[in-house]
């Protein structure tokens, strides 16, 4: 469903302005119809005082009650996309580029800061940084937001892709579609790819110095990131000059919860050494019956061949590899990323999804 193009939006605004200057009832035109669709997309769904779609949700955990922050953008009763940020420990903010692509197609999406992230509570307890606990948190968020199998799409990016997949393995009966964005389904395979492929793409003298710092476990040494930012991040995380990285990305990463990151990921940028070190769900992929889109980037920290494989192992899978993209393909190959994502969402909604297709 196409709500409006930029030219149609201009027509809608012009029509509204003219309507205020005349008592003549406007005839039913395309712009009037678009205006109705636009009003429906942005209509409030909450009663009482309006607060921009923000919903703070109380969740139960083994350590008591905590609150997590969510914000709805737009309204579409058939397509609601809950966003799971990466890191682990980043914030919802780097998803703000969605606002340039999803609203004009009438797609509702929901920002969500996981516990310990951004605007949500931070219990500052490493025992809370647990994949099974986060799965139950997502389920409580789903229930609170009344997301159902008739409208609920889950998009997880990076670490969020692990969380989204793990949620689907337990609760796919509640999903309408699953998007695994820029995340392999095996952390050991990810570590091997980082070591055997990505590391070897660096200049030998740079890699040697990085390895020496890691061997000393001197991860707080400023030289570590000084080497990695231009030689690894700008090549495989977001392929733009560092001084041109989008502000929502730097803002989000600047707020990262390092306790959560190190506990789950580990301190090294080459592979995973934390709680997720042995996580591997590759063999379980055939159990997923919900429509799945696996997104990767040709220059990603994740093996693009693995992302294609995901789509072949699940029962109803599509793949999308962004040729100019890296780990942040939603920024450095935006047209490919969002064209494919929107095609997937619409095809699932319309019942025209063709499993096995490359979007």
Residues with catalytic annotation? 158, 300, 327
d(CA 349, CA 161): 21
d(CA 254, CA 117): 12
d(CA 145, CA 192): 39
The torsion angles phi and psi of 244, rounded to 5 degrees, stand at -115, 10
d(CA 299, CA 321): 10
Look at phi and psi of residue 295 and say left if phi exceeds 0, alpha if psi is from -120 to 50, else beta.
Answer: beta
């Amino acid at each position: 469903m196409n709500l409006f193009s930029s030219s149609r939006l201009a027509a809608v605004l012009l029509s509204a302005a003219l309507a205020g200057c005349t008592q003549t009832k406007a005839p039913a035109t395309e712009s009037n119809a678009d205006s109705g669709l636009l009003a429906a997309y942005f209509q409030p769904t909450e009663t009482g005082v309006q607060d921009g779609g923000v919903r703070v949700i109380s969740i139960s955990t083994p350590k008591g009650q905590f609150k997590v922050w969510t914000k709805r953008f737009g309204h579409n009763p058939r397509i609601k996309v809950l966003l799971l940020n990466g890191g682990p420990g980043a914030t919802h903010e780097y998803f703000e580029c969605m606002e340039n692509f999803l609203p004009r197609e009438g797609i509702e999406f929901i920002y969500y800061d996981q516990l310990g992230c951004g605007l949500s509570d931070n219990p500052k307890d490493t025992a809370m940084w647990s994949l099974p606990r986060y799965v139950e948190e997502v389920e409580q968020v789903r229930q609170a937001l009344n997301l159902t199998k008739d409208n609920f799409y889950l998009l997880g990016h990076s670490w969020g892709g692990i969380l989204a997949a793990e949620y689907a393995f337990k609760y796919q009966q509640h999903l309408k579609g699953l998007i695994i964005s820029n995340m392999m389904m095996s952390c050991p395979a990810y570590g091997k790819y980082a070591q055997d492929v990505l590391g070897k793409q660096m200049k030998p003298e740079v890699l040697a110095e990085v390895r020496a710092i890691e061997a000393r476990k001197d991860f707080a040494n400023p030289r570590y990131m000084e080497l990695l930012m231009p030689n690894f991040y700008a090549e495989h995380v977001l392929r733009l000059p560092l001084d041109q990285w989008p502000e929502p990305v730097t803002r989000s990463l600047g707020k990262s919860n390092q306790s959560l990151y190190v506990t789950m990921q580990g301190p090294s940028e080459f592979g995973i050494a934390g709680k997720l070190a042995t996580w591997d769900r590759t063999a379980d992929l055939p159990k997923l019956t919900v429509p799945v889109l696996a997104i990767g980037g040709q220059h990603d920290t994740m093996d693009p061949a693995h992302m294609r494989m995901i789509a072949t192992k699940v029962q109803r899978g599509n793949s999308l590899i962004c040729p100019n993209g890296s780990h942040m393909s939603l920024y450095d190959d935006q047209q490919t990323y969002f064209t494919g994502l929107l095609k997937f969402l619409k095809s699932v909604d319309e019942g025209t999804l063709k499993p096995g297709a490359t979007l």
